[in-house]
Amino acid sequence: MRKLRPVRRPARVRSFPPIAGRGARVLILGSMPGVASLEAQQYYAHPRNAFWPIMGTLLGFHPSASYAQRRRALKAARIAVWDVLQSCERRGSLDTMIENEVANGFNAFFRVHRGITHVFFNGAKAETSFRRHVLPHMSASLGYARLPSTSPANAALPHHRKLAAWRVILAPVRRPRSSK
C-alpha cells in the first residue's frame, strides 16, 4: 500500500518596496517577483528576463550596470516600478501559480506620487490582479495599458517586438505636465 504524502501549501512570498523617485510620471507594475528576484532581492533579477535590457535600450544605460545604477536611471527617467501584490502564495515563479493574493497599498502610494499619470502592466497577471484588487478602490484617474510580459516564460514573443511595444512608456515621461 502506498503512503500518501501530505499536501504542502505553496510558500507565502512578499514583494519589495517600490522603486520611485519624487518626480515619477509612469508606474510599471509586475505581479510578484519570481524566485530569482526574491533570492537576489532585486526586481527582474532572472538573467533571461527582458526588463533590464529593454529599459537599458530605452533609457540609455547598460543592462548589466549595477542594480543601484539601474534604479537611479529609472528614477532619473521619472519611471517607478512596483508589484501589484504585496504578498501571495506561489510554488515557483510562474504567475499561473499565484494564489491568495494581497494587494499593495496603492491609494497611499498615489497620494505620495501625485505626478504619476500612466500605469503600465508588465503582462496579463499584473493587469488582472490590479483590476480585481486595486482599481475598484482607486481614487486617482490614470491611463492604463498592458504591455507584453518581459518574463522568460513569454519567450514566444521576440525581443524586438517586446522592445517596440515597451517604447510607449516614454511618451508620458517626455510630455510636459499639464497645469490644472
Q: What is the tens place of the pLDDT at every residue in 115-142?
A: 999 999 999 999 999 999 999 988 768 9
CATH entry, 11-173, from 1.10.3720.10, 3.30.420.40, 3.40.470.10, 3.60.21.10: 3.40.470.10
Query: Cβ contacts of residue 111 below 8 Å, gap of 6+?
Result: none
What would the pLDDT profile of 2-40 be if each residue is shown by its tens digit?
A: 666 665 677 788 999 999 999 999 999 998 888 899 899
What would the pLDDT profile of 86-125 be if each residue is shown by its tens digit?
A: 988 878 776 667 778 889 999 999 999 999 999 999 999 9
Q: CA-CA distance, 67 to 72, in Å (whole number)?
A: 9
Indicate the SS3 state at residue 56: helix
The verdict on whether 49 is a catalytic residue reads yes
Domains of the chain: which residue ranges?
11-173
Return the number of other C-beta atoms located less than 10 Å from residue 154's C-beta: 15
Catalytic residue among 49, 100, 104, 122: 49
pTM for the predicted model, two decimal places = 0.89
Q: Is 131 exposed, middle or buried (0-12, 13-18, 19+ CB in 10 A)?
A: middle
